[in-house]
Structure formats: structure tokens, C-alpha cells
A and B are shown apart, each in its own frame.
Chain A
Amino acid sequence: MRTSIQICGLLIGFVLPILPGMLLLRIVLKKQLRGILTWVTAFILGQSFFTLLLFVVGIAGLPLTFFSTIFILLVLTIFLWSIMRLCQRTNISPQQPTNTLTQIYNSTSCVQPLSYSRLLQIILILALILLFLLIGAISLTEAVSDRPGQAIWAFKAKVFFTEQSIPTALFKDNFRPYSEMSYPLDYALFLSWLYMWMGEINDHLIKLVPALLAMLVGVLMYSICRDQQMSMNKSLAFTLVLCGNTPFIACGQQMYAEHLLTLQVLAGFYFLYCFLNNTEQKRLLLAGFLLLGGGAWIKNEGLLIYTVAFALLLLLRGSRKWNIRNLAKDLPAMITPALIFILPWFLFRSLLNIPTIDFNFGKIIDINQWFFLPNIKEIARVFLKKMFLEIRYSCGVWILLAFTTIVHAPQLARRRASRFLAIAIAIIILVYFAVFLFSTKRLDWHLRIVPRILLVPSSLALMLVALTTRSQNKERK
């Protein structure tokens, strides 16, 4: 009975951030969206904003109890609702509720491709259901028993829940170097919020969270494919390919933050992709960067991805119609999310002088000594092996991408949105490569995480494959 109540609490706590997220999405896009994509995006935005608010309240010294956090959520929701109402009043021509991003922002009509067979559809749906049930069941067989849980995320959540605050002493504690105090607090605060809903620390049930997040990544991928008017069979197939690889499954069973980051980055890049298809819609740009900003609030890796997207968009926007006025219009939408999500955490970090343990630019090896050169071969070998040879690790995502890139090269070069995605994926992988190459840490220590860090780029790669093949079909018709 007690466990049932705790599971109910966990699920309620998990879905509640959708409320402010939905309102925020309506404010940003100024339109009412429908469909699963909206719900998933609302969850992502809502939980980022909510945990950011918890962080601000926590470092201000206010207690983080069950009732105070509910009060915070309520205030945030009412505040966003008031802004939304204000926006609706000032809106001269209210928009009709519409279904998908593609229908709103693409002027071209989309053709629904024929589905292959009903049987295949049922098999794919059953496979996905089985996959997520297995991820959830295997997660529940173990308590928090992995390094990211025990040392980083669940540990910090436990501290916040027990202390009912964000104790700054924890971040100054030199005896906890393995707790990675330089990592942002989004995931830890979200977990502690769920502990509040469960009423106590439950080391078994909390393992459901990564499994639920894994499921959301699958739902997001499916909804992106469907948003692009792709057939149900193909959408399900792409979802299964994304969710069926070994690192994805492993991250769903352990307390890694990878799935939360994948959610933010995948949704963020999809909004930017839509923006580049119709650059008049600045709201998509803001929504995209808000999501990517949320990614930077989850892991330091998210900041790298945000920076790549920022720099690349500046270059691509400038390449054709270089116009200072255009750029001036875009920049606020690109910078504001950084100020909202990244600035508070970095101010906090610099005030407390929290060092980065994994990698920082103070730890770069002496380039003049050239002894890093032999590492290039080793790093390239591991990357290529994990991407192309060990099919169970990648499920052939990179082979699909390579094939699509070769076959659809002219289309990729011609379409700005596809080009943006392709270059972003390449740069992100190159930056990982460079970090491994110049880091002073042991190379094998870095290389063991290659399959896991490739999760985010591989989700983007699969999205690019889906969007490219889909638009190719559409162009042909």
C-alpha cells in the first residue's frame, strides 16, 4: 500500500512540471499546439524552469520542503498564466488552435505516405512497449547502485531532500571530489522534488525516473517523425532504432542524466530545424534555444551543444543574407536562454569557486610536446568502432546516416536546415574528440564513456536521417 502511494506520488511529481511548461510553450509560440510533441516539449521546458526556480529559491536560503516547492510551482504557474492572458489580450488576431508545428510553419502541403502493413505496425508497437517495460523492470530490480546515482545525481538529491535546502558546504567539501560538484543541479533537484512527492528516500523506486525519461525520448522521436507527416510504420521504426541500442538501454536502467539531456537537445534542435525552414518565425528560434539552454542546465556537455548551435546558426544566418538588422532580431532569442539558464549556475559556481574535475581548459596538455599525436589513432579507432562496427552499440544509426549523406548529398547541401543539423552533429563529435585528445586525464578513462556520450549525437543523427528521407519522399511526390 505504502509503495503504491509512493509510485502514485512519483508519477504525479513527474508530470506536474507539464503545467508551467505548457503555459510557457503557449507564451513563446503564441499558439495553441496539440499532439504528443507539445506534451513532451511542455514537460522538458516545465521541469527546466521549475528546477531553476528551486535552485534560485534554495541558494537564497529558503527551505525546500514539500509544501514550499508546491507553492513555488503554483506561483510559477499562476505567473505564466497571467502572462499568457496578457499576451492573448494584446494579440489582435487570435490564432486558431492547430495541430502540428509543420502545419503551422510550413506553407507546403504534406502528403501522407502509404503505410506498409497493419501487422508490421502492431509488431513495432509491441516491441516498443516490451522494450520500455523491460527497461523499467530491470531498473526496479536494483537500488541506486551505480556511480552516477551513488556519487552524483541521486546522492545530491538525497542531500537536498534530507537538508531541505541547497547546502553550500557540500560544494566546498574537498573530500567529495567524486561527486562532480561542477555539474549543474537540474537533475538532482528534479529527483529531490520526486523524493518529496514520495515522502521519503526510496532507492528502488527512484530508479523508475531514468526509465520514464527513456520512454519520453522514444515518444519525442516518434512525435517528431509524426510531426513531419511520416508514416506510422517508419516513425515507429526510427523510434525503435533510437531506443533499442545498448547504451540507451543501459542509461535507462541507471541514474545517468543522458536521457534528460537527449530530450532537451533533440527537441531544441528540432525547433531550430523548423525555424531554419521558415526563418520568419522567430518564436521557434526562442523555443529552440530555451530547450538547448535547459540542456546546459543539466550537464556541462549541454553548454557545449548550446555553443555549437549558437555559433553555427550565426554563421548560417549570415552566409546568405548577411544583414545586421536580421542578426539583431535573432540575437535576443539566442542569448536570453543562456542568461536564464546558464548565468545563475555559473555565477554560483564562480562565487563558490567550484572546480571542474573531468576536464577544463586549465588541464589541457602541453601541445608543444606533440606526445598527444599517437592518441589520435586510438581515439579515432574507438569512435569508429563504436559508431560503425559494434552494431549493438549503435543499431546502425551511423551507417544509416552515412548512406543518407552520400545518397542525399545535394539535398543536404541545398537545404539550410539539414545542413545545420549535419554540421552540428559533426562539430559535436569533433569537440568530444578534441577534449579526449588534449585532456590530461588517462585516455582509457575517457574512452570508456564513448558509447554513452554518442547517445545525444546519435539521436540527432537519426533525426537528420528521418527528416532528410522524409523530405526527399515529399519532394518526389
Chain B
Amino acid sequence: MRQVRLIIFNLLLTSAVTVSGYNIWKMTGVLGEKVTRGLEENISWNVELIRLAQKHVCKGKPCFVWILPVLRKEISTETQVFEFNYYLYPSKVYYMNDSEIGLCDFVICEQALRTHFERTANALNLGNKFRIVGENDDTCIYQRK
């Protein structure tokens, strides 16, 4: 009976080790994929936008982020805000309430939301207080005049 137990235990342990081996095998694939795609792309979900923001947002100035989730890559707005918050430090990043636009010197806005932003800014009596200082195909950056 003891021998049977020992054999079953060893079989289970061997299976567990095999699963670990399989996971290691899968990891080699992951590494290969990352290297093939290039390291640059993996720096952030949108390295161009981060660089654009770092270029235009003055150090330490508060900033409002108004962007859509990247559904294709399953990246939420919140995740993008964490990234802006991290890479633009010591600037404070706001994103939750529209009323916080008034507290900010910069607004990072999705091109698709531009009209929406300008309408909201007008409603907050901030319509003529922002001007565009930088943009690319997807996003534009406003600065308080």
C-alpha cells in the first residue's frame, strides 16, 4: 500500500513538474514574440503619446486626461491615466470629473473627443482659455493661455 501511495505521489509530482516545463516552454514563445515585435513598442501602450505629453506638458503642472479606452488592446482609460501619472510626475493627473478641468493647466484630449471637450469647456466658462500646443493623429494637447 505504501508503495502504491509513493508511486501515485511521484506521478503527481512528475505531472506538476511537467506542467512547469510546459509553462517555461510557453515563456520562450512569449519572449520570442516580444523580441520580434521590437522592444520599443513594449515601452508603453502608446509610446508616441507619452513622448508628446512629456514634450508639451510643463514639469509639475496639473494635467487633465480625457481619452477613450483602447479596446483593441483591452487597455482601460484608468490604466492610461496610471501611465500618464507615472511618466508625467511631478505633474498631477486628473481624469474623473469634468469640473477638474478648471484646476488644470494642460488637457490631453483624444481627437475624437475634441468637440465634446470644447463644449464642456464652454459650459465651464473655460472655452477661450485653452489653446492647442501639440497634436498627432489620435490626440491633441491643450495648454491654458
Q: A: which residues have CB within 8 A of B?
A: 124, 127, 130-131, 134-135, 137-138, 141-145, 147, 149-151, 154-155, 158-159, 162, 173, 175-176, 178-179, 234, 237-238, 240-241, 243-246, 249, 391-392, 395-397, 399-400, 403-404, 407, 469, 476
Contact = CB atoms under 8 A, between A and B. Distances in A.
Interface stretch (B7-15, B107-115, B120-128, B136-144): B7-15
B9 A469 contact: yes
The main secondary structure of chain A at its interface with chain B is helix
B31 A138 contact: yes
B71 interface: no
Contacts of B90: 159, 162
Given A245-B23, A469-B9, A145 B42 contact: yes
B72 interface: no
A395 B20 contact: yes
Contact of B24 (A244, A404, A476): A244
Given A130-B24, A138-B30, A145 B85 contact: no
B56 interface: no
Given A178-B78, A240-B17, A397-B16, A131 B31 contact: no
Given A143-B43, A150-B85, A469-B9, A249 B16 contact: no
B23 A392 contact: yes
A131 B27 CA distance: 8
Interface in B1-57: 2, 5, 8-9, 12-17, 19-24, 27-28, 30-31, 34-35, 39, 42-45
Closest 7 CB pairs of A and B: A244-B20, A150-B86, A396-B16, A150-B82, A241-B16, A151-B82, A141-B34
Given A141-B31, A145-B43, A392 B19 contact: yes
B28 A243 contact: no
9 contacts: A141-B31, A142-B42, A151-B82, A175-B92, A179-B85, A237-B17, A244-B19, A245-B19, A391-B19
Contacts of B28: 134
B83 interface: yes
